[in-house]
Structure 1
Amino acid sequence: MDSVKKTALFDVHEKLGGKIIDFAGWSLPVQYEGIVEEHEAVRNAAGIFDVSHMGEVEVKGKDAFAFVQNLVTNDVATLEDHQVLYGMMCYEDGGVVDDLLVYKFNQDFFYLVINASNINKDYAWMLEQSKGYDITLENMSSQVSEVAIQGPLAQEILQKVVDVNLDDIKFFYCNRNVTVAGAKCLVSRTGYTGEDGFEIYSENKDIVKIWEALMEVGKDMGLKPAGLGCRDTLRFEAALPLYGNELSKDITPLEAGLGFFVKLGKESFIGKEALVAQKEAGLPRKTVGFEMEKGIPRHGYDVVVDDKVVGMVTTGYFSPTLKKNIGLALVDASYAEMGGALGIQVRKKVLPATICSKRFYQKNYKK
């Protein structure tokens, strides 16, 4: 794995016995103690994740607002300073370049957080779309480290090592001037697990002491290091999408069931015409939740009805929280009715599944 990139926390993961894998070109822990144990720690106490592989791009200049408003599907005009917005960047045909978080520092300064697997593609796309706008773009990804602390005790633990009252950082807001374990950081409260939690962005040189300080103050409160494995099971139970699964260049936000984050009423954004046309014509495919009595669904498995392939599983697991076999699938719209019967091709057998709500888990965010 010599050619694979390492975060500033790589030695910490090895010392903790993390099982290291190649994820999007990064050496990252898929688990430490075990996916289920780490999943349950986040649901019941707290977990800490190394998410330094995520990408960060600064947008500065007098046209920063106009550029970002045209770039993403959601309405950036609704943002206050230091508020955060979820949205997508789309191609002209409505397919998704990436999903991202938009941090508004002020009207002339935005911070975009993008997926690790898409950093180079996304930055090239942004540069191409920036022509004609009076802005500067800077890919900060290699200069920034990030940890996320998630779970019902996340605030209580983090509060022990910061110089601000975390009650003042509301859900989907941030503070750019927080001292965490002696280091100046950007702290936000968004989460990707269905639980309350915070993201801490710092310079690479400071992230180890931040991680170690959190682990020390949280050791008697159930805080555990958490890997990519439970990050996926947690976000999936909370019906949060993953690029490459629920979203891709071949799946529109509307097909993914994320129309709430697509503001077709705003003046313009890249891909708007295609998405308006798709909505008016009726969606050809829809994303549904399903559960199975037997068999564990996996990403890429075919969905079959009457010997006909009508879709595919985008994500599937045995849910550690619900103790059920559940999944999300993108299916032909005519087969997407709540309570409908589907078949999932699990190896050589087609096993029965029933369409259910995608809200597998009740999110526990602090508003």
Structure 2
Amino acid sequence: MPRTFGSALDEFVACQRSTALFDYSFLLRLRVKGLQAAEAVSNLCRRDFSSMAVGTVRYALYASSSGELISDLTVWQIGPETIDIMSGRAADVREITAALVTYDVNVFDLSDQTAALALQGPATNACLQELVDRGEVAEIPSFGFRELGIVGKHCIVGRLGFTGLDGVEILCTPDDASRLWQLLAQMSRPAGFMAADMLRLTAGLPLFSQEFAPPVTAADVGLSRIWKPFASTTEFREPQVARVLFRARWASDTTTALPDVLWTDGGAFPPPVNTVAVTSICNNPTAADLIGMGYVSLKNKSNQLSDTAGLLSNIQLIKIFGEQPP
């Protein structure tokens, strides 16, 4: 996915007001098939998928043996004993395949056979419906999917996305994706990574490559409701930080690029008291300042915050996720 198709701000506005079209074909797809498919994926993600109905999708987390988050996944119940796992992290294919080797399942890498297009925004249903041969896009429930024919192409259409807005992801073959992109791009605004970043930050959504870069657990990120330690284990530490969404401005003497603000591997973590370890930041598309995400210590006692790089000023918390500082 390119950074932009011209203007990230215009792409952001198009998505919020109508529709935007994203190419998510970098996503990897694993199929887990067999009698123990639900058990295997449940144990991998520490979330119970045994009661998932065919045609539903759930968000999931993939973590190390010590509970530190590695990536996030979507889990699709394709059939009674068939589950697809979608991930944006290339190493997950090898690691997840190895992790499931002791279960009575077969694991297939379908990544090269799959392209993923995302249509996002309030006009998604009307836009896509014009190309659907049979069926109603509006009838697909949130975190559900249906098999649809789109201009004669077999597709799996799921109602989910990464923008905080209504939208769908369309799974098809790479050959069919080219034609579908051409048709959808005539009705919606093609958009790139910068617009996607603005949208997900505005919605308060974490990106695994950014928010999972520090050594954080599900509780630190505010996602413990979907990732549970096994009852018999005591291996996971208590939360040390809280993920936060914030607004800020550049310090008066700063002319530095946005990436220079970000926490880097080896930096202090948890961050010092009253300091934000910034993991994502971009120009605020709705105001003349910056919007970002990061972590603060649970020991914070003040609303007067600085960033670990010392490059920001007027940091104002918009939202605290999960555990709140005392």
Same fold, TM-score > 0.5, yes or no: yes
**Secondary structure of the corresponding residue to residue 3 of structure 2:** strand
Counterpart among 204, 224, 228 of residue 239 in structure 1: 204
Corresponding residue number in structure 2 for 1:60? 33
Counterpart among 113, 125, 135 of residue 105 in structure 2: 135
Q: Which aligned pairs between 1:160-239 and structure 2 lie closer than 5 A?
A: 160-162=130-132, 163-175=134-146, 177-216=147-186, 218=187, 223-239=188-204
Whether the 8 Å contact between 1:303 and 1:344 is mirrored in structure 2 is no
- Which letter does structure 2 place at the counterpart of 1:111? D
Corresponding residue number in structure 1 for 2:305? 342
**Does residue 246 of structure 2 align to residue 290 of structure 1?**
yes
- Which letter does structure 1 place at the counterpart of 2:304? A
- In the TM superposition, what whole-angstrom CA distance separates every residue of 1:139-198 from its partner, at most 9, and x where no partner exists? 1111111110000111110011012111221010011x2111210011101110011111
| Count of aligned residue pairs for this structure pair | 310
Residues 187, 326 of structure 1: alpha-carbon distance in 2 compared, 3 angstrom cutoff: same
Whether the 8 Å contact between 2:275 and 2:307 is mirrored in structure 1 is no
- In the TM superposition, what whole-angstrom CA distance separates every residue of 1:303-330 from its partner, at most 9, and x where no partner exists? 99xx978451011222213554222121
- Which letter does structure 2 place at the counterpart of 1:198? V
Counterpart among 54, 61, 74 of residue 81 in structure 1: 54
Counterpart among 186, 210, 216 of residue 251 in structure 1: 216
Corresponding residue number in structure 1 for 2:17? 44
Residues 350, 103 of structure 1: alpha-carbon distance in 2 compared, 3 angstrom cutoff: closer
User: Take 2:128 and 2:34, find their aligned partners in 1: how far apart are those partners?
Assistant: 33
- In the TM superposition, what whole-angstrom CA distance separates every residue of 1:178-232 from its partner, at most 9, and x where no partner exists? 111210011101110011111111111111111112223x1xxxx2100111111
Task: Kindly state the Cα deviation for residue 247 of structure 1 after the two structures are TM-superposed.
Answer: 1.4
Corresponding residue number in structure 2 for 1:147? 117
**Does residue 278 of structure 2 align to residue 313 of structure 1?**
yes
Q: Percent identity?
A: 24
**Secondary structure of the corresponding residue to residue 293 of structure 2:** strand
Task: Give the TM-score normalised by the residue count of structure 2.
Answer: 0.87
User: Take 1:237 and 1:246, find their aligned partners in 2: how far apart are those partners?
Assistant: 15
Residues 114, 349 of structure 1: alpha-carbon distance in 2 compared, 3 angstrom cutoff: closer
- Which letter does structure 2 place at the counterpart of 1:168? E
**Secondary structure of the corresponding residue to residue 81 of structure 1:** coil
- Which letter does structure 1 place at the counterpart of 2:246? F
Corresponding residue number in structure 1 for 2:7? 34
Unaligned ranges ≥5, structure 1: 1-27, 360-367
Whether the 8 Å contact between 1:30 and 1:228 is mirrored in structure 2 is yes
**Secondary structure of the corresponding residue to residue 57 of structure 1:** strand
User: Take 1:249 and 1:60, find their aligned partners in 2: how far apart are those partners?
Assistant: 33
Task: Kindly state the Cα deviation for residue 92 of structure 1 after the two structures are TM-superposed.
Answer: 1.0
Residues 323, 166 of structure 1: alpha-carbon distance in 2 compared, 3 angstrom cutoff: farther
Two-structure CA RMSD over aligned residues (Å): 2.6
Counterpart among 34, 41, 45 of residue 72 in structure 1: 45
Unaligned ranges ≥5, structure 2: 252-256, 322-326
